[in-house]
Amino acid sequence: MTTFVIVGGGLAGAKAAETLRAEGFTGEVVLFGDEQELPYERPPLSKDYLLGKAKRESAFVHPAEWYAEQNIDLRTGVSVAAIERSEHRVIFEGGTQGYDKLLLATGASPRRLEVPGEALDGVRYLRKLPDSDALREIFTGGRRVVVVGSGWIGLETAAAASIAGCEVTVLEPQPTPLYYALGPELGAHFTALHEAHGVQFRFGETAAEFHGDAAGRLGSVLASSGQVLPADAAIVSIGAGPNDGLARGADLDISNGVLTDAALRSSDPDIYAAGDVACSFLPLLGRNVRVEHWSNALNGGPAAARSMLGQQVEYNRVPYFYTDQYDLGMECSGLPSPGNYDEVVYRGDRSSVPGEFIAFWLKDGRLIAGMNVNVWDVTDDIQALVRSDRTVDPSRLADPAIPLSEV
């Protein structure tokens, strides 16, 4: 019988397994996940679940019985240690598993801040359900929380802590939050949003050391400026790196993740990669990119599964991200990092926070990204404009009287 093995029981892995069955694959499907939990989605971990508004089960991609119904051999709590390509098998503690095709969906892990005191109780990272559980306990009124790094997870965590009544300070080396994700213009909007909720930013600073109290728990954070910040907890959110150790060990081509073509095939034609671990060729951009976003796992897992089944696949989606912070909800299509664009054009009201507007990033007169803040049902139009790769008139983009589909 043909056996397809998926390593990584997150969203990409679970969605790939679902697609294999939906497409009629009747062979063996083995899904390895090293966490104890059923495959789950991570966005609630820094939003509704962290805020105590969503149940644990609501994060699960499928309920437990679904795997048995679909005849998917889900092995939770099992870490795959190596790939033996010549034998077409993976090795895990206590056994081996042969494969005809293999999908790597091993995700990413938080970058560690390797400074003195990083191992102290009270210094936290956020990636897994137990991490979110721990923060839920910590975030109670009056606690002093230092967030190190203000990317998406840092800001969402800061919002949750602030809503819970904590005193929140954010240390950020760049001049704004989300500097590399959105650039300084929109970063400033998120500064204003958080400041309106009492969060304090210290730009140009990071954590130099974590100091323990008499009980050996975190007591304060020494900022790089020399300032000592009393702290009950510090959440380090300085980005994530791909879990590409298995691929490295197997000598696959790697560069910021597992390199794949547009069909999500790695340098070994029987091994595929999807989700946060994959650095895939995106025809739209004409280069390989690693996209650490929910929708890339949601759609990339199924695309890889179809490719494993021998279908013609060209994975070519506009990168898409969303966030919820306080009363701001937004979606962003495209990759508007500094250096990628020449100007930002706005439609709508961003004079106050959260605002109701769309931001458009232009490069050489073409739309490379668009972000809608508390404005809905415009993503398809924004993505169509990005895909079109044609020059657009900024004044028409800015004019709310002109439908986006007619810009």
Ligand X SMILES: Cc1cc2nc3c(=O)[nH]c(=O)nc-3n(C[C@H](O)[C@H](O)[C@H](O)COP(=O)(O)OP(=O)(O)OC[C@H]3O[C@@H](n4cnc5c(N)ncnc54)[C@H](O)[C@@H]3O)c2cc1C
- Contact residues for ligand X (CB under 6 A)? 7-13, 32-35, 42-43, 45-46, 79-80, 105-108, 126-127, 153, 243, 246, 275-276, 292-295, 297, 321-323
Q: Which is nearer to ligand X, 56 or 211 (CB)?
A: 56
CA distances from 198 to 72, 159, 185, 350 (A): 48, 10, 21, 19
Q: Please say which residue, 126 or 263, places its beta carbon nearer to ligand X.
A: 126
Tokens of 140: 């109670």
CB of 195 to ligand X, least distance (A): 21
Q: What is the 3-state secondary structure (H, E, C) of 62-94?
A: CCHHHHHHCCEEEEECCCEEEEECCCCEEEECC
Contact (CB, 8 A) for 138 and 308: no
Burial of residue 277 (number of CB atoms within 10 Å: 0-12, 13-18, 19+) = buried
CA–chain centroid gap for 201, Å, is: 23
Cα distances (Å, whole numbers) of residue 398 to 293, 358, 362, 394: 28, 9, 12, 6
Shortest distance (Å) from residue 83 CB to ligand X = 10
Please give the Cα distance from 252 to 130 (Å, whole number). Answer: 32
- Would you say 201 or 294 has its CB closer to ligand X? 294
Query: Looking at beta carbons only, is 369 or 397 nearer to ligand X?
Result: 369
Q: Smallest gap, in angstroms, from Cβ of residue 379 to ligand X?
A: 13
What minimum distance in Å lies between the beta carbon of 38 and ligand X? 10
Closer by beta carbon to ligand X, 223 or else 359? 359
CB of 183 to ligand X, least distance (A): 18
Q: How far is the CB of 342 from ligand X (least distance, A)?
A: 26
Smaller CB separation from ligand X, 32 or 360: 32
With respect to ligand X, which residue has the nearer C-beta, 291 or 407? 291
Closest distance to ligand X from the beta carbon of 61 (Å): 9
What is the token pair recorded at 289? 């990119």
Question: Taking the complex as a whole, how short is the minimal distance between the CB of residue 308 and ligand X, in angstroms?
Answer: 16
80 or 345: CB nearest ligand X = 80
Look up residue 368 and give its two tokens. 């490379």
Q: How far is the CB of 381 from ligand X (least distance, A)?
A: 20
Nearer CB in complex with ligand X: 91/392: 91
